[in-house]
Structure 1
Amino acid sequence: MTQATAAPPAAARSARMPAKAWLILGLLMTLLVLNYFDRQTLSILKPVVKTALDFDDRAYSLLTFAFMLPYIVMYVVSGRLIDRFGTRICMTVFAAGWSIANIASGLSHNFAHLAASRAMLGAAEPGAFPVVQRAILNWVPVEHRALAISIATPAGNIGAILAPPLIALLATGIGWRAAFVIPGLVGAAIALAWWFTDTRHAPAARPAAQAAPLPSEAIADRSSSAGALLRDKRFWALAAVRMISDPVWYFYLFWMPGYLQERVGLSLAELGLVGGIPYIAAVVACIVLGRTVDRSTARGHDPIRIQLRIFAFSAALMPFGALITMTSSATIAMIIITVVVAVCQIWFAGFYVVLAGLFPVKVNATAVGLLGAVGASTSLVLNLLAGWILVQFDYVALFAGLAILHPISAVILMVVIGRSRKAGAVQPD
């Protein structure tokens, strides 16, 4: 049973999210939509760009590597930059950087130029995610924090939903280069809007006059250095979980469109009609569960313990993913994929809620960056090995293996984080 803590004062329970916080949240969501939109452009226009710049599939794999390697490196670096220089300058630089990289991709006239543009895109994009974490902690009161995180985190899915039809429209109507350049110009404009909106004088996420510290924050405030973060076994438990569970998301993101066409029999047009359903379901699920955590927190319950219960329940659904190879029904396959994608996004949003409660604000962006790099690294390895595994064992082995990763991760979370919460409830600082 969830252990209750002292109920927050009435002022904290009734506090509304400030209008400026909603504006910040809206800009964060817009930037995440553009972030995912821009990274999808090349994969959607792959046949056209290959012909225009005269390269083959082996060269295309190098473009993927050119994106992923700096992406992983900058996931580590960006968190520290944000904790050092703040969200205003960092998000402006990151968003302007990936927008310029997208424009440069559209203006490329040979493979080398395109590869350099993809590397720049990979270096700029990962910083958006720790910025989201830190900006929400800066601007959003604690009683609305889980909802804000759950709204912002899956916003990138909207970019994944919008990319195929809009990119195709731009490419066929104006030309493939416009599909890169126009979104890049939009991104540059939003980056400028962020600079003038995210002022340096952000209000405290939860003024002391409004609410007493939660036990999780009292424990977290013992130390606020990056070194202390790396010495905390709870952080390493989260790192192990991201290392284990993140590859599920990246595999479904990169391989499921092909699986649905090659094995289930969907045409490209049919895929375009139903391909966004899992992402829409994921957004709805994240918002509903984020609101649930906020309401429970307002009633005095520990938000992290509630989030751990959500992790455990959702992980129990993941073994259904192993059944996908047993059906030839497109409907059943889409239901299974929707469940898996929704759970992956619930976990991503949940990690931000847990980090916000476990560690001080000043190291949250660093934690997000390090964990993102760990997850992206193991995901890169899986995607490099996936082709060989398919040749040797087909999809059955892959889906069966992926189906148990979240349950294993849930056990780690309950053992390490769950026990630390019990200790904190018995002997709070």
Structure 2
Amino acid sequence: MDSTTHKPKLSTHIRYIVLALIFVNIIINYMDRTNLSIAMPEMSKELGLSTVQQGLLFSAFGWIYAAMQVPGGILLDKLGSRITYTISLFFWSVITCFQSLVGSFSGILGLRLGIGFFEAPVMPANNRAVSYWFPDNERGTAIGIYSSAQFLGLAFSTPLLFAIHQSIGWRGLFIVTGAIGIVWSIVWFIIYHDPDKSPWVGQDELQYIQDGGGISEAELLKQNANKPKAKITAENLKKLFNRRLIGIYLGQFAISGTFWFFLTWFPTYLTKAKGINFLQSGFLSMIPYLAAFVGVILAGSISDRLIRAGKSESFARKAPVITGLLLTLLIMGANFVSSPALIIMFMSIAFFGNGLATITWVFVTALAPKNLLGLAGGIFNLCGALSSIVIPIVIGFLVAKGNFSSALIFIAAIALLGALSYIFVVGKIDLHENEE
């Protein structure tokens, strides 16, 4: 039976539980990334932080996060998603709690570096887990769903985080968000296993996943028994830096650039540049996040439907990404309006486009050698992480005098470069070219 055209009735559906676990992982992950932007107004007053220092703190997470992508990918290929994720989630959550104790710029800077260190393997681990648990014809939708968690989670957690902040202050905010992660790391360790080690998956579901192209650890070991795994050799570097992979690396920097604007400077943009009060900005910020969530869901489902309908893989996978990057250019429209409704409209269209483009993890699975998925994912995420360094700092300088117009133009220009990369550098792709 062709699993790409018909889904058989299975005795278990553990892969959906795994997807739900990953979904919660990402919500917690991005909650711990964004809590600083919510705490920053009060914290900067208490600690006497300048705008330049604030920009450095926003970017500090990305410094070591980017540097650890490749080592994190190697560790992931050795330890797997279960152990790697448990260690990462537990320790970044502990450090999040420690942020409540700081009393200086250097203290918070050091702790943000620590969070970046332990969060480094997270996105490659998500991609690895989905690649193991989902067949080809479901993988785009699965990636779209877990990618949407960062937007849906931020949309609904942001007002909650504002409320926590208002109730117990910025120090209490760090304690609460850190404690949630510590508890969830235990839940993940207990429940998650790779498919061939899961005590709950049915044999028919396991067979369905593997017949549909899901990655099997046993099969990888068999295929690569005499090959070095996840090592940085000249041969592997050549595979990991071919033209198309370079194209998606560049595209990931562009896509992440828009995201990091919203994750760091967006609340300040609403309150300082547009004069929207603090609490109102917390609720208004939900709208662009929800728009991005819709974009991610549409990207994954439409892409998979196009594949199942017989459209070319290149068109089905690239069209949402290119369209989304071009829609992001409309962020510049906010420069020409003053009404909060119109500002949020332009921001929502731009972030919808960003969500539409966020399905790019599917290209790692499609183009990278299967025995190097962790390492390729690390490089891919490294390029996205570089934007977390560059964007907050550059915007910090661009808005030094309180004018965000040049910052929005900067974000749009990066998005345009990303679209051009997918059009001219990535070129035509084949989902199955690395199966041999």
Q: 1:234 — aligned with what?
A: 244
Instruction: Give the secondary structure class of the aligned counterpart of 2:428.
Output: helix
Distance 1:247 1:208, change over 3 A: closer
Inter-partner Cα distance in structure 1 for 2:13 and 2:367: 27
Equivalent pair of 2:37/2:265 in contact (CA under 8 Å): no
Q: 1:407 — aligned with what?
A: 416
After TM superposition, the structure 1 stretch with the greater mean CA deviation from structure 2, 137-146 or 369-378, is 369-378
Distance 1:394 1:306, change over 3 A: same
Q: 2:364 — aligned with what?
A: 355
Please show how residues 203-222 of structure 1 align to structure 2 within 5 Å. Answer: 207=209, 209-210=211-212
Instruction: Give the secondary structure class of the aligned counterpart of 1:249.
Output: helix
Q: 2:27 — aligned with what?
A: 33
TM-score (norm 1): 0.83
Inter-partner Cα distance in structure 2 for 1:314 and 1:180: 33
Inter-partner Cα distance in structure 2 for 1:231 and 1:111: 38
Instruction: Give the secondary structure class of the aligned counterpart of 1:199.
Output: coil
Distance 1:252 1:21, change over 3 A: same
Please show how residues 12-411 of structure 1 align to structure 2 within 5 Å. Answer: 13-15=6-8, 19-50=13-44, 54-57=47-50, 60-61=54-55, 63-108=57-102, 113-174=107-168, 176-200=170-194, 201=197, 207=209, 209-210=211-212, 226-349=236-359, 351-390=360-399, 394-411=403-420
RMSD: 3.3
Equivalent pair of 1:137/1:361 in contact (CA under 8 Å): no
Q: Which runs of 5+ in 1 are unaligned?
A: 1-7, 214-220
Equivalent pair of 2:323/2:353 in contact (CA under 8 Å): no
Equivalent pair of 1:70/1:122 in contact (CA under 8 Å): yes
Instruction: Give the secondary structure class of the aligned counterpart of 1:381.
Output: helix
Instruction: Give the secondary structure class of the aligned counterpart of 1:21.
Output: helix
The amino acid that maps onto 2:282 is G
The amino acid that maps onto 1:297 is I
Equivalent pair of 2:245/2:426 in contact (CA under 8 Å): no
Instruction: Give the secondary structure class of the aligned counterpart of 1:317.
Output: helix
Equivalent pair of 2:143/2:300 in contact (CA under 8 Å): yes
Equivalent pair of 1:11/1:211 in contact (CA under 8 Å): no
Distance 1:253 1:107, change over 3 A: closer
Q: CA deviation at 1:133?
A: 0.4
Q: 2:2 — aligned with what?
A: 9
Identity of aligned residues (%): 22
Instruction: Give the secondary structure class of the aligned counterpart of 1:78.
Output: helix
For residues 155-205 of structure 1, what are the alpha-carbon distances to aligned partners after superposition, in whole Å with 9 as ceiling and x for unaligned? 122332344433343344455443222332221121111112222425869
Equivalent pair of 2:134/2:142 in contact (CA under 8 Å): yes
Equivalent pair of 2:97/2:175 in contact (CA under 8 Å): yes
TM-score (norm 2): 0.82
After TM superposition, the structure 1 stretch with the greater mean CA deviation from structure 2, 84-93 or 308-317, is 308-317
Inter-partner Cα distance in structure 2 for 1:29 and 1:59: 33
Equivalent pair of 1:137/1:356 in contact (CA under 8 Å): yes
Distance 1:31 1:169, change over 3 A: same
Q: Which runs of 5+ in 2 are unaligned?
A: 216-222, 231-235
After TM superposition, the structure 1 stretch with the greater mean CA deviation from structure 2, 320-329 or 125-134, is 320-329
After TM superposition, the structure 1 stretch with the greater mean CA deviation from structure 2, 282-291 or 110-119, is 110-119
Instruction: Give the secondary structure class of the aligned counterpart of 2:398.
Output: helix
Distance 1:344 1:198, change over 3 A: same
Instruction: Give the secondary structure class of the aligned counterpart of 1:13.
Output: coil
